[in-house]
Structure 1
Amino acid sequence: MILLGHSHGGFVAQYVALRHPERLPGLVLYESAPVTGPEHMAEAAAGVGDFVRRNEGNPELPAVLAGLQAAGAARDDEGITAALRDLLPAYVAHYWEREDEFKELRTTLTCTYISSADADGTPDTIDDRAALPALTVPALVLVGHYDIPCGPRWAGELHALIPGSRLVELADSGHLGHIEEPAAFAAAVRDFTTSLPA
């Protein structure tokens, strides 16, 4: 199968591709990164700063920022769902310009909490940068220009690290390009998958 991993799923997909390349004819790393931990969080914080500057003066901005804070403190499905509903505008490139399209998603989405810590509470960080140059699976790296958690910097690093990879940036997307620019997203995935050996 061709494995597509989105966001945290990208780390899972990288894990599988690095350990079982014979099982995958292709790999799509969508809004992913090669590393988690402090460096990743610092880059996300810079992305939040850009989001705040682009939306300065919006009366809903404080609630979105409160959602970002709450997401970091969430420890169960209910907590992370409430936080992500609040912060959804930060995950969409132009949320308030397209609010009618996304408001139902915002009120109905549900999420599953995934801990970033080991069983003993130690942060479980990922750093695949040393391993990715040995990846043999054909790969597409797909990213939204306005993505905050796994933005263009990380897509560029993945592309540089993975031999022969393709890089596609969705110009008007944040973290959810498959619903923000569905035609461009589908075209990028289709073009990649149809180029793979039969």
Structure 2
Amino acid sequence: MVEHLGVPEVHLLGHSHGGFVVQYHALHRPDRVAGVILYDSAPVTGPEHAAEAMRMVRSFAARYAGHPGLPEVLAAFQAIPTISDDVRMTAVARGLFPAYFADYWGREEEFAAMRAAVRAAHISGLDENLVPHAVDDRADLGSVTLPTLVVVGRHDVVCGVRWAEELHRLIPGSELLILEKSGHFGHIEEPDAFSRAVTRFVSSTARGTS
């Protein structure tokens, strides 16, 4: 991949599930990687991650109790186990959309068109033995030697602050940025703060810089 780009090193940014891909590279294929950005990611999947997500969903529901849009969001969460094709996946993703923002309904005019345009593909989370595929990198993250920036939205219900703080604690020398007015999409909700942090991190960790 790096050879095709014609550069000596790259920075890898992984958002959400993409964070697990970047963590894999940091742990197993760090050659020619100048640094990694784990953005709304986590060190683990599975029951523990799901329990934390449900805790955050309950917090979201309490924050917006009485809002007319809340029942649709909660129904979408309940429908997640029923997803079996792209059509259902798209419907659920649109239903969940407000929960992925710090204040979707306060900025609905800004984000409504984006929600209507959502298309989602259903990809099974089962391995070749039809068992849920789980990740747990916690025992290995202490061996990461690459410069690492961890970014998370304060109100992220999917991969929230608990996981960002754990990543930050486990990865030696890592930096942590919490976007206080964001959910799962800080690059959309707080684009200036997000871009400044990423630009500074990449500039400071590029080859030939201190």
Establish whether TM, by shorter chain, passes 0.5. yes
Name 1:12's counterpart in structure 2: 21
Residue 35 (structure 2) aligned to one of 16, 26, 50: 26
Partners in 1 of 2:188 and 2:136 — Cα distance?
Answer: 29
Residue 87 of structure 1 and its aligned partner are, at CA, apart by: 0.8
Whole-angstrom CA distance in 2 between matches of 1:26 and 1:112:
30
What letter matches 1:110 in structure 2? R
Match of 2:105 among 86, 96, 108: 96
Determine which of 65, 74, 86 is the counterpart of 1:77. Answer: 86
Aligned with residue 114 of structure 1, among 114, 123, 148: 123
Matched, 1:38 2:57: no
> TM-score, normalization: structure 1?
0.97
User: SS of 1:75's equivalent?
Assistant: coil
Alignment of 1:1-198 (within 5 A): 1-198=10-207
Bigger Cα displacement from structure 2, 10-19 vs 110-119: 110-119
Provide the C-alpha distance between the structure 2 equivalents of 1:90 and 1:189, rounded to a whole number of angstroms. 24
Q: Deviations over 1:155-189 (max 9, x none)?
A: 00000000110000000000011111111110111
Task: Note closer, same or farther for the CA distance 1:72–1:3 as it changes in structure 2 (3 Å cut).
Answer: farther
Mapped to 2, the partners of 1:15 and 1:72 lie a distance apart of 27
Amino acid at match of 2:38: L
CA contact (8 A) 1:71 1:79 kept: no
The AA in structure 2 aligned to 1:196 is T
Size of the aligned set, in residue pairs, is 198
Q: Distance in 1 between matches of 2:51 and 2:11?
A: 31
**Partner amino acid, structure 1, of 2:139:** A
Unaligned ranges ≥5, structure 1 = none
Deviation at 1:75, TM superposition (A): 2.5
Indicate the SS of the match to 1:25: strand
Question: 58-67 or 140-149, which moves further after superposition?
Answer: 58-67
CA displacement at 1:80 relative to structure 2: 1.6
CA contact (8 A) 1:68 1:87 kept: yes
Name whichever of 43-52 and 74-83 sits farther off.
74-83
Larger Rg: 2
Q: Is the 8 A contact 1:5 1:11 kept in 2?
A: yes
Q: Secondary structure at the match of 2:25?
A: helix
For residues 54-78 of structure 1, give each alpha carbon's deviation from its aligned partner in whole angstroms, at most 9, with x where no partner exists: 0000111110111112233312322
Task: Say which SS state the counterpart of residue 60 (structure 2) adopts.
Answer: helix
C-alpha distance in 2, partners of 1:175/1:128?
Answer: 21
* Ranges in structure 2 where 5+ consecutive residues have no aligned partner: 1-9
Question: Is the contact made by 1:93 and 1:147 (CA closer than 8 Å) also made in structure 2?
Answer: yes
Give the ranges of 4+ consecutive aligned residues of structure 1 lying more than 4 Å apart after TM superposition.
Answer: none
Secondary structure of 2:167 counterpart: helix
